[in-house]
A and B are shown apart, each in its own frame.
Chain A
């Protein structure tokens, strides 16, 4: 296989993987309004747990890590995702109650740094600063894949998983739960006044989103066979935010576009450029600056993203609910169930929503 194909399949893998990661962050931030600045921490938990579950026992490998159960591929990945979810519940129980946006964001970004610090320093957990390596490639032995054929194979596997998770996510966002999430995003107080348990719904959203984070992280370590602490400094969370904000918050197609534009074209394409002589790392630094600038320009000129959130139809009335007023949409929904005489205009609960 030629180098170009090898390269294209690598990019395809990152496209699918970041699509999964973006869907997870989107349900937390884009649908429910939780500014999860610790997102990459959940990705890392998924990656590490997936890794140590598929690695053999650590004795004699030269690495130090817990577990080492040699579990087969989909099992370790699922457990990795579930561990990230479990951790999210723990975090949410402490941080989501009674914290306003700024506090929550500060606590979560601190959490992200502390997770990094602990994994970096406490070697027996996940091999410290060296990170995990030589993680077995799924199905490589059974299908007799070599390094070259593994990459297209695993990119395809990730694509299938991403497609399935997309299907599940679009069901979730269209369900009553999804509507409640958006109502909370638009106005917590209104959602609470309509009898929604805001904390419980936020917990649910954290749980689902972190499962996606864990799966995305697990696929990352399975693809590259290694994972170390520098791969998930808080700046990486920003990349996932850039993916969903550039692509379009609250729109799953937009997330795929965002993953293509930001992760594939901006993050991974320049990594294949030749380094500037005498200035190692300069391309990466400029690349990061470019992502930051692009996000600001996008937020200013097109805050709804490349593919904006669709105006959702309120089924009971057949009138178009205005974009960004999911609270109104919900009020209608509740209203239609309880008060059939309410045939006047939908309750006007316009908040600033997704910007002008």
Chain B
């Protein structure tokens, strides 16, 4: 039983990282209507921006550095969209082209990271972690902080989507871009802000992934991307609340199963759930009509 609770705690932490990243991916998908296959590399890049602020150049506190890294990644995502992705999406109506371009972007970013930071495993400089017993769970300071960040962000995203003008514009655009445009919504501005949020959430999740895993490598994001896909598909692509629920399910399932079967097959648990979800409910648990 102790093993179960221990892995349950890990599951909650993984679910927190997943929720942040899955929401970032879904926000962008809802607005632009194509999947960003470079998202995993956005995550890794955000983690390396954090690393630069935390360790290489400025020696900032890890949480301050994470904030800086996320903002930097958000700005970079806006630029990538403006100069590369948006022109391709405007010019080619078929999703094929822009998907291939994000796939190519993923290859470019990954190899740029390799050429700058090398293939060696790197570490954040962090204060020593202390473990706390909370009920049956055992969690460290940083794990608790990551969970708190995820909960606050999820509430924040919820409040933004439901109450602010920006959030309402985003929901309107994701339902029908043309209608939103004719209703006087500045769709270019909303798209830019969405890319910033998506990039920043990717950078943040990449950094907290590095913090919870204890290390960072350029390839980490790419492997994690597939777990995000599982969470997003289980929840229904484009649905923000579905992404949150999917993240919780996949996060818990991968970590708890890792405690009982070989942890090397953690990824495969997520894939089995993904396939089951596709067979039983192909459009996702929280899918909206008209999608998928």
Interface 1/0 per residue, B83-96 and A, CB below 8 Å: 01001100111111
Give 1 or 0 for each of A284-321: 1 = CB within 8 Å of chain B CB: 11101101110110011001000000000000000000
Residue A352, interface by CB 8 Å:
yes
Tell me, yes or no, whether A99 is within 8 Å of chain B by CB. yes
- One digit per residue, 1 when the CB lies within 8 angstroms of any chain A CB and 0 when it does not, for chain B 222-252 equals 1100100110110001000000000000000
User: What 13 new A-B contacts, CB under 8 Å, besides A238-B107, A285-B115?
Assistant: A33-B96, A106-B229, A107-B274, A109-B37, A235-B110, A241-B100, A289-B108, A296-B84, A299-B101, A300-B91, A352-B92, A352-B94, A356-B91
Q: Are A106 and B35 in contact (CB under 8 A)?
A: yes
Report Cα–Cα, A356/B267, bound state, in Å.
40
Query: Is B104 positioned at the interface, with any CB of A under 8 Å from its CB?
Result: yes
Stretch from A10-18, A110-118, A132-140, A167-175 at the B interface: A110-118
Is A165 an interface residue, CB under 8 A from the partner?
A: no
B104 near A292: Cβ-Cβ < 8 Å:
yes
Contact of A35 among B99, B229, B232, B274 (CB under 8 A): B99
A325 to B292, CA, bound (A): 26
Interface size class of B (residues with CB under 8 A): 35 or more
- Which 7 pairs, one residue from A and one from B, show the smallest C-beta to C-beta distance? A292-B108, A288-B111, A285-B115, A121-B264, A292-B104, A285-B111, A292-B107
A113 & B223 in contact (Cβ 8 Å cutoff): yes
What would 28 A/B residue contacts be, using CB atoms closer than 8 Å?
Answer: A33-B96, A94-B278, A99-B292, A102-B35, A105-B37, A105-B99, A106-B232, A109-B226, A110-B274, A114-B226, A114-B268, A117-B264, A118-B268, A121-B265, A234-B222, A238-B107, A241-B103, A281-B119, A284-B111, A285-B111, A286-B115, A295-B100, A295-B104, A299-B88, A299-B100, A300-B88, A303-B92, A352-B92
B161 proximal to A (CB < 8 A):
no
Return chain B residues, CB-CB under 8 Å to A107.
Answer: 229, 233, 274, 278
Q: State the total of A-B contacts with C-beta under 8 angstroms.
A: 124
State the CA gap A12–B265 with chains docked (Å). 39
Residue of B87, B104, B233, B279 most packed against chain A (CB within 10 A): B104
**Cβ-closest chain B residue relative to A287:** B111
Residue in B95, B101, B275 whose beta carbon sits within 8 Å of that of A296 in the complex? B101
Q: Which of B29, B107, B110, B271 contacts A110 (CB 8 A)?
A: B271
Contact of A102 among B34, B268, B282 (CB under 8 A): B34
Contact B278 A105 (CB under 8 A): no
| Residues of chain A within 8 A of B115, CB atoms compared | 282, 285-286, 289
Is B163 located at the chain interface by the 8 A CB criterion? no
* Residues in A whose Cβ lies below 8 Å from that of B264: 117, 121
- Decide: B275 and A94 in contact? CB cutoff 8 A: yes
Q: How far is the CB of A158 from chain B (nearest CB, A)?
A: 27
- Contact assessment for B111 and A289 in the assembled complex, using a CB-CB cutoff below 8 Å: yes
Chain B 110-138 residues near chain A, CB threshold 8 A: 110-112, 114-115, 119
Give the interface of B toward A (CB within 8 A).
29, 34-35, 37, 84, 87-88, 91-97, 99-101, 103-105, 107-108, 110-112, 114-115, 119, 222-223, 226, 229-230, 232-233, 237, 262, 264-265, 267-268, 271, 274-275, 278-279, 282, 292
Identify whether the interface residues of A are mostly helix, strand, loop, or mixed.
helix
Known: A100-B292, A110-B226, A113-B267. A35 touches B37 (CB 8 A): no
Cα–Cα, bound, A282→B232 (Å) = 35
Nearest chain B CB to A273 CB, angstrom units: 15
Return the contact of A103 from the options B119, B237, B275 (Cβ within 8 A). B237
| Bound complex: CA A100 to CA B97 (Å) | 15
Collect the chain B residues with CB atoms within 8 Å of residue A242's CB. 104
Contact with B along A87-110 (1 / 0, CB 8 A): 000000011011111110111011
A355 at the interface (CB under 8 A from B): yes
